[in-house]
Amino acid sequence: MPRKRNTRRSPDMPTLADVARLAGVSEITASRVVRAQGPIADPTRLRVLSAIAALGYIPNRAAGSLASAGSTLMSVLLPSLSNIVFPDVLRGIHTALTQTAFQPVIGVTDYDPLIEERILISFLSWQPAAVILAGLHHTPVARRYLEQGRFRVAELMDIDGDPVDIAVGMSHRQAGYETGRHLIQRGYRRFGYARHNILTDDRASARYEGLCTSLQEAGLSLIAEHRYPGPSSTKAGRDTLEILLSAHSELDVVIFPNDDMAMGGIFHCMYAGITVREQLGIFGFNGLDIGQAMPMPLSTILSKRFLIGKTAAEKLLESRERPPEKTIINTGFDIIEGATA
């Protein structure tokens, strides 16, 4: 006795077999039409297409993935969504992926390599075509999976290190270094530094180190730094500057780990009646729109976040197979002179 069919299926979800039957072709031909793959005669294609439309057929990607041992998903692992940087990167990725069959699946790691590892493993169970992550530091387990997998890998933001496959980003160490050189050249000598409590933000740390190097080369060093006991925010920047200045009123410039905090610094100056640039220089990082729309544009470094995401996704699409040699793409950065330092 034949077993009852379709107990698990939605009652009227048509399958490829239904489409093929209606179009009077074999399943595989219908499949080829759906995937636009292989040679199909125009009249046949049209018959299949109209059968698809008539039935409201939606392909089952789980079955497709299973049969072909691959998917059109692209796993994206980002440290955070609160930091505008990563939505920008995501926008770049998304832009490159529209008009392709690929879809981003996102995960947020909270800057924690162990969470990154966990999410990575769970993403791999979808057999993604590619994995995009931030930075070059991962757990050994994660690194092993990335190296052994049959998917492309892009590591974003940072290029100071050895990527698994592709790295797209800029040298944060160099950005920090150039920041120091620039500010010294503009006459600043008494440097303060604001930080936040995200210790695993490797990029911020690299910029900090680069800055210290350039100060050292000039026979200078940081006079003061303060680590705000919370995540980055405008208010964090404002409070941090107040604390820095209360202990070190001699500072003539303060560098912030990002524009959000730098804006907070400027707001503190406005509030406290400090003339920005003359009395105190303020320098940020990222080059956000809002900082540039101020009457006195923020001095900062433009990181090309959208471009990083877009370039990475485009590069990943170039070939399904991982090429033998690794690729490092430096999207660079621009110093925005601005009016605050």
Partner DNA sequence: GCCTTTTATGGTAGCGCTGTCATTATTCTT
Partner DNA sequence: AAGAATAATGACAGCGCTACCATAAAAGGC
Residue 292 interaction partner, one of its own copies, DNA, none, beta carbon < 5-8 Å per kind: its own copies
Pick between residue 30 and residue 89 the one whose CB is nearest to DNA. 30
| Residue 13 makes contact with DNA by CB under 7 A | yes
Q: d(Cα 62, Cα 56) in Å, to the nearest integer? A: 18
CB neighbour burial string for 215-242, b if at least 16 within 10 angstroms, e if fewer: beeeebebbbbbebeeebbbebbbbbbb
Q: Which residues bind its own copies (CB under 8 A)?
A: 8-10, 58-63, 65-69, 71, 73, 81-82, 84, 87-88, 90-91, 94, 103-108, 121-127, 149-150, 233-235, 237-238, 260, 263-264, 267, 270-271, 289-290, 292-295
Residue of the chain from 46, 54, 60, 101 that contacts DNA (CB under 7 A)? 60
**Are 266 and 234 contacting, i.e. CB atoms less than 8 angstroms apart?**
no
Q: d(Cα 209, Cα 173) in Å, to the nearest integer? A: 6
Pick between residue 41 and residue 293 the one whose CB is nearest to its own copies. 293
Bridge-based pairing state of the strands 333-336 and 300-303 = antiparallel
Residue of the chain from 21, 49, 59, 297 that contacts DNA (CB under 7 A)? 59
CB neighbour burial string for 251-262, b if at least 16 within 10 angstroms, e if fewer: bbbbbbbbbbbb
Nearest distance, CB of residue 14 and DNA, angstroms: 8
Nearest distance, CB of residue 10 and its own copies, angstroms: 5
Residue 32 interaction partner, one of its own copies, DNA, none, beta carbon < 5-8 Å per kind: DNA
Question: 67 burial class (0-12, 13-18, 19+ CB within 10 angstroms)?
Answer: exposed
| Residue 29 makes contact with DNA by CB under 7 A | yes
Pick between residue 184 and residue 245 the one whose CB is nearest to its own copies. 245
Residue of the chain from 1, 21, 56, 64 that contacts DNA (CB under 7 A)? 64
Residue 87 interaction partner, one of its own copies, DNA, none, beta carbon < 5-8 Å per kind: its own copies
Q: d(Cα 192, Cα 281) in Å, to the nearest integer? A: 10
42-55 and 27-35 helices, crossing angle to 10°: 90
Bridge-based pairing state of the strands 224-227 and 166-170 = unpaired
At position 293, the amino acid (one-letter code) is A
| Residue 109 makes contact with DNA by CB under 7 A | no
Which of the stretches 59-67, 103-111, 169-177, 271-279 binds DNA when contact is defined by CB under 7 A? Answer: 59-67
The binding site for DNA (CB under 7 A) comprises 2-3, 5-9, 13, 15-17, 24-29, 31-32, 34-35, 37-41, 43-45, 57, 59-60, 63-64, 66-69
